[in-house]
Structure formats: structure tokens, C-alpha cells
Amino acid sequence: MFTLSPKPFTRALAFGVVAGVMALGSHAVTAADAVQTSVKIETKNQGAVINKAIYGQFMEHLGRGIYEGVWVGEDSKIPNTKGYRKDVLAALKELQVPLLRWPGGCFADEYHWRDGIGPRDKRPATVNTTWGGVTDDNAFGTHEFMTFAEMLGAEVYINGNLGTGTPQEMAAWLEYLTSDSQSTLANMRRANGRDKPWKVDYFAIGNEAWGCGGTMTPEYYTNLYKHYATFLKTPEDNRPILIASGGHTDQTEWTTTLMENVPETWSMRMDAISHHYYTLPTGDWAKHGAALGFNESEWFDTMFNTLRIEDFIKTNTAIMDKHDPEKKVGFYVDEWGTWYDVAEGDNPGFLYQQNSLRDAVLAGLNLNIFHAYAERVRMSNIAQMVNVLQAMILTDKEKMLLTPTYHVFKMYIPFQDATSLPISIKGENSYVLGDKEIPMVSASAAISTSGKYYLALVNAHPSESRKLAIEADKTFSRVKGQVLTADAMDAHNTFKQPNNLQPKAYKQKAKDGKLILDLPAKSVVVVELLD
């Protein structure tokens, strides 16, 4: 894996225009205190569209992410619809999942798609050597995934097998999925129960080529990308966005090599480059840090480390701007989220972890950053959707709960395909611990597809609230929405108390012509701005 090398983060984090007076030290806010921080929104100076795919989900053959988490089979005692868990399916529909990435992840480069088609009782059993060494009966394959996406109304992102596959295998999979001809592969799809071709929205050539995808150099992978991409042919009206496997963390050499050496030609193209970054409280892959029971120092380090993603986006997209000023090529953060130590007694290959208020605050910080760079960051996929890492949903056999991260994603639904608005934060906005400093308040604003104005606010400080003055070139007299917060830093939901932490209604009216919002400590707030 990779390690982090933190450096002091001293920028004020805000969407669009970044401005702020960083004052060292702060104090607890009381009702009598004057406004300390202001948030200014420019409604007339609209920015980029926030692609709904920024809210993409990731599902890999890993632990209980798919089997039990999504798929239980038609004969299961767990209530299901054609093998899919009813409770999970309903929760994901409520989340309005815009995009699903499958089958990996590291698993993708050992996955051979023909193992997952045809009658389930005749599919081969294979060993998942990447995650836990468990046997996979391949009951969940191409048809099951594509059907699941259709049930959710989600676009699909399929990761092709570069590591152990061939150009022929990858091209054949795309033909099986998309061809409307009378070819053998298209007719095989029809024989397996699907007459019409599926729409494939995104397709990646390999995953983490620098590591589990083949331990390659950027130069070697770039040549392989061009080789494979040349043969990925689909009907003109069903051409997926092609994604190259990029770097991770602070790496830029993958972006540089790909941008310099993959020209757009009649036979081959590159529409996006992926990038991965996981947040570890410690920054140390030998000991990540605990999911629960942490202190303020660990809270701060987690926020500090997650905010580094903005630097990684800025440095990589600057390289892209040099070679692609028209911004044709996207920068996709298609794996991100928290990665904690495995719970004691659990299979270390299953990556199951609890999800607390800390994860919710972290999710809001990341989403606000992705909004800020929406011109290039047109997709992200949190890892992962169910039962793995920073999940939306956790299950225990027939039981299910929604995590704090789920609630944040649901609160942020109005930002899907919304038009971003420049925003600046001024005044006192520092959270200092020891010799490190991060912005206390993060914000993002947008006009939704329905024409409504929305504002998202995150307070990264675990014990101090803020009074925020909302300023705009348009009059707003009140707000309504939701707030997610709790007393404990590690507040979370359990199977015995699944509703322990969930959003509450939030309202505020202007007084004497001033709209001032109370932003609780360690909170995420999403509101509609009203005249």
C-alpha cells in the first residue's frame, strides 16, 4: 500500500473562490457572541455543473459487500426480490444512487466475466484470492449486476480485467453487453435472458495498475491502455466513457504520462483518468486507527489527512489543464473514503468497519471539495456501498442499518447535476491542534435542477459551534433543511439502536435583515435558501 506524508494545511476550504482570514486560536461560541464567520454566495456567477456521478457508489466482490449485502438469492429467508435484499434495495432507491461501479477494485483484474453468466447452478466456483480467500459461486454476475442497476435507475461503471485478462476477453465482454447484432456473443446474451443490449455508461481498462492491478510503471500501463482501447468497439450510440487507471495519493506521474502519450485518434481515446485516495487517521498502513473510541487528536488527524485530497486534485488537474485546456478528459476519484483497522475477530480480508459521525463529517468535506473542482472531477465512488469500509449500509444477516454516511449522501441529493455557485468564507475559520491547522467550516452552494438554491455546511471542529452570517447578491430571508450531529464524536448506529443517529429538521429566519445560522460542532447541515 502507500503511506501519507502530512504537511500543514492552512487554506480556508470553501467552494469556488477560496478566501479567508485564518486566525490562530478560537473559543466556544455563546448566544451572546457576535458573528465570527461569514459565507458569501454569488448567485449570478454560475459555475460548473456538479455531475451526479460524483455521488457514485462502489460494489466489489469483497467480504459481505455483495453476497448478503445486496444479493441473498431467491431461496433466502431474508425478504428479497428475485434474489436482491428488499430492505437494501429500498434504502438505495431512497438514496437515488446515480452510478454503480463493479466488479472491483482489485477483484476486477482477476475476474473473468464468462464465469458469471448462464444458469447459476452451472457457473464455476472460483477462489477470491484478493479478499479473504473465500469461494465465489459467481451467482452475482453480469446479468445480476446490470439488472440491479436498472432496478435502481443507476448508470453503470464496469471495470475491465487488464491484469489477468486479454484484449480479446475485454472486447468480447463489451460486445456481449452492447451488441444489437446477430453475433454469437449477442445471441448468447439473448439465450441467457436479455434480448436488448444494455447501456454501458463507463468502462475502465484495469484498476490500480501501480499495485494490485499488475505492479506496472506508468509508461508500461500507458502502452497497454492504448493497446486494449484500440479494440474496445461498441455501437456508435452505446459508446462508454473510457477510463484509464491513474495514480494515488500525491502521485502525478501517472497523469503526466497518460496525458502526454495517449492521443485522441479515430481508433482509440481516453475520456478520463482515475485516482484513488483513502483516509487513514494515522496515515500509516501498518496501523490505520480505530473506527470507534478515538480521541480528539485522532479526530483532527483524520480531518487533516482527508483534506489533503484537495492538493492531489489541484496538482493533477493542473497537469491536465496544460495538455487539455478544453477539459475534455475527466479526473475521477473513483475510490475514496475512510479505512480503519479491522474489527477484532473479523476476517481481515472483509474490510468491515463501523461508521460514525466522524465519517459523516468527513464525507461532507470531501463532497464539498469535489463540487469545487466539478469542471474536472465529474465522478467519484465512495468505497464501498454495503458492509465494506465507509459504507452506506451495514447488514447482519436479516438485520440492516443506515450509517451516518448514508444520511449525508441523502442530504446532498439536491446537488446531483446542480449548477455550482462561487462561495467564499471570511472571518475566523481556524481549527488548530498542536502545530497543525485546518479550516473549521467548509461550504458549497448550488442551484438544483429544479431551480432551488441549496447550501451545504460542514463544521469540522468537534467541540466548537459557529455563528455564520449568510451574504449573497440575492435576498434570502430563511432556510430550511436538515442537520446531522451528536454529542459524541463517535456516535453511530447499531443493530440494536439503528436510529441512534439520524438527521433532524433545521430552520432559521433572518432577523433585522440579517440571515445568521447556528452551525453546531461536528455537524453537517444542508439547507434550501428561501426568499
Residues annotated as catalytic (active site), given as ranges:
208, 335
The whole-angstrom separation of Cα 332 and Cα 380 is 6
Q: Phi/psi of residue 302, each to 5°?
A: -65, -45
Among residues 186, 206, 188, which one has the least CA distance to residue 197? 186
Written as nine digits, the cell of 261 is 502519450
The whole-angstrom separation of Cα 62 and Cα 131 is 6
DSSP secondary structure letters along 94-139 = HHT--EEEES-SGGGGG--GGGGSS-GGGSPPEE-TTTTT-EE---
Kind of pairing between the strands at 37-41 and 466-472: parallel
Distance of CA 484 to the CA centre of its chain: 19
The whole-angstrom separation of Cα 505 and Cα 527 is 10
- Using the CB atoms, write b or e for 301-333: b if 16+ within 10 Å: bbbbbbbbbbebbeebbebbeeebeeeebbbbb
Dihedral (CA of 212, 217, 219, 223) sign: negative
Radius of gyration of the chain (CA): 23
H or E segment and range at residue 360: helix 357-372
Angle (CA) 247-251-167 rounded to 5° is 20
Among residues 285, 224, 277, 274, which one has the least CA distance to residue 379? 274
Written as nine digits, the cell of 511 is 432577523
DSSP secondary structure letters along 457-510 = EEE--SS--EEEEEEESS---EEEEEEE--SSTT-B--SSSTTSS--EEEEEE-
Written as nine digits, the cell of 436 is 497543525
Kind of pairing between the strands at 99-102 and 419-421: unpaired
